[in-house]
Amino acid sequence: MNKTKHCILNKDAANLQEIPDGSVSLVITSPPYPMIEMWDEIFMKQKPEIEEHLMTEPYKAFDLMHDVLNDIWEEVDKKVANHGFVCINIGDATRTINGHFQMYSNHSKIIEKFVSMGYSVLPDIIWKNDKCPE
Ligand SMILES: C[S@@+](CC[C@H](N)C(=O)[O-])C[C@H]1O[C@@H](n2cnc3c(N)ncnc32)[C@H](O)[C@@H]1O
């Protein structure tokens, strides 16, 4: 039987120097979702200027949150092998800030970033659990 080696890196995904460049065939990840309130703090810790804009210029805050993710996507890109796959679990956000309801389209931002890095977009996969409760 083939043996596999598993290594857990508990660290900022924007710096994956332990992983050789071009060595990863498949990345599966679920990042924090920009503009979903439960992830605000984690984005602000990584980019404190987000806090200044969140209530006054929320779209600017949204862009800054994606800047945090974009640093990670650039690091992921370095590690992915030619013809490798990147699967990202992401949802869009809807939010009312100062009485203004808006959608923040996270999937569009991520697709735009990967296209800019030369990736081909594949169809979305949406999961639905249709199992009946026991
Ligand atoms: C949507 S959750 C995913 C949770 C995970 N899939 C699970 O089932 O536990 C996003 C996770 O990304 C982590 N995170 C945020 N910024 C990160 C970064 N720069 N590097 C690595 N992980 C980060 C958060 O701490 C959080 O645990």
Residue 45 alpha carbon to ligand 1 centre in Å: 13
Pocket test for ligand 1, best of 42, 66, 68 (most atoms within 8 A of CB): 42
Domain annotation covers residue 127: no
- Structure tokens given for 105: 């389209």
Residue 11 alpha carbon to ligand 1 centre in Å: 10
Domain annotation covers residue 125: no
Distance (Å, rounded) from C-alpha 90 to C-alpha 112? 14
- Structure tokens given for 122: 């594949």
pLDDT tens track for 86-132: 999 999 999 999 999 999 999 999 999 999 999 999 999 988 889 98
Domain annotation covers residue 23: no
Q: How many domains is the chain built from?
A: 1
Distance (Å, rounded) from C-alpha 66 to C-alpha 80? 20
| Whole-number average pLDDT of the chain | 96
Average pLDDT score over residue span 40-46: 98
Domain annotation covers residue 18: no
What pTM value is reported for the model?
0.94
Which amino acid is residue 30, in one-letter code?
S
Domain annotation covers residue 22: no
Whether pLDDT at 134 is above 80: no
Give the three-class secondary structure for 32: coil
Whether residue 111 has its Cβ less than 6 Å from ligand 1: no
Distance (Å, rounded) from C-alpha 114 to C-alpha 100? 30
Range of the domain at 107: 33-116
pLDDT of residue 73: 98
Domain annotation covers residue 11: no
Eight-state DSSP code of residue 71: H
